[in-house]
Amino acid sequence: MVYATVLPALYMPIILMLLGLIFRGVAFEFRHRTTRGAIWWDVGFWVGSTVAAFTQGIAVGALVQGINIANRSYVGDWWDWLTPFTLLTGAAVVVGYALLGATWLNLKTSGTLQAKSRQLAMFAGFGTLALIGVVSLWSPFIREIYFERWFGWPTAFFSAFVPVMLAGCALALWHGLTTDKHLQPFLAALGLFVLSFVGLGISFYPYIVPGALTIAEAAAPESSLKFLLVGAAVLVPVILAYTGYAYWVFRGKIDPEEGYH
């Protein structure tokens, strides 16, 4: 039900995101098959990655600002997803992904590349925090329910922990980058993302589509949920185990000349 309600409002950004992901994959594949045209595939990889990240942020921003629904059907305009707020959230996701990438390279590389990654992470960190701040200040004024959730009593007491923890992650990020830490900046960057989505959860609950559909209203029948639970109980541990094993195999630093060590 929720997909049929939300997807028509987000067709364009989702289509652009899928095209960006496809183009990024093609560029990554062909980058190593040519020498003379490698620079163009590098540009293609950057364009595809940026479009995918930007449209993800736009989709999140469109959901935050609200989707016009009547009788459980989308009744808004084709271009409702394109607003100054969604452009801002799109930019925030792009800069945030750049921060994650830079801190990951800081963790996995050494020498000149690591130093450059650390410098980029510092700039991306400042940009990410600034954009988080602007989005956070803007969001409560989009819908009255957001303002009440963040500033009304007693919910404001619990909501206040999010910016405090965000400040802690920002301090850990800065400390890690300025004292040549390798893992700490990456974990701090992950913390910024997790806490940002916690903030969304605080603003949305109990809605899945703000102001239109609650989680209970959008849920599938109980029999379908039980069926999915059985599959999730098997697949989620397998996926977690495989992901953990992959991280274990590729642990340590990587040297372009010698491989992992």
- Distances in Å between the Cα of 148 and the Cα atoms of 116, 161, 200, 204 are 43, 16, 14, 12
pLDDT in tens, 168-200: 999 999 999 999 899 999 999 999 999 998 888
Q: Where are the domains of the chain?
A: 2-219, 231-261
Q: What is the chain's mean pLDDT, rounded?
A: 86
pLDDT of residue 2: 54
Count of beta carbons in the 10 Å neighbourhood of residue 175: 13
Q: What is the pLDDT of residue 5?
A: 63
Contact call for residues 27 and 98 (beta carbons, < 8 A): no
Say which range, 30-34, 46-50, 134-138, has the weakest mean pLDDT.
30-34
Provide the pLDDT for residue 233. Answer: 95
Least confident stretch, 56-70, 87-101, 220-234, 246-260: 246-260
Assign residue 93 a region (left: φ > 0; alpha: ψ between -120 and 50; beta: otherwise): alpha
Distances in whole angstroms, Cα of residue 63 to Cα of each of 60, 128, 163, 186, 220? 5, 20, 21, 28, 20
Q: Is the pLDDT of residue 229 over 70?
A: yes
Place of tokens 């945030």: 96
The per-residue pLDDT for range 237-251, each reduced to its tens digit, is 999 999 999 888 888
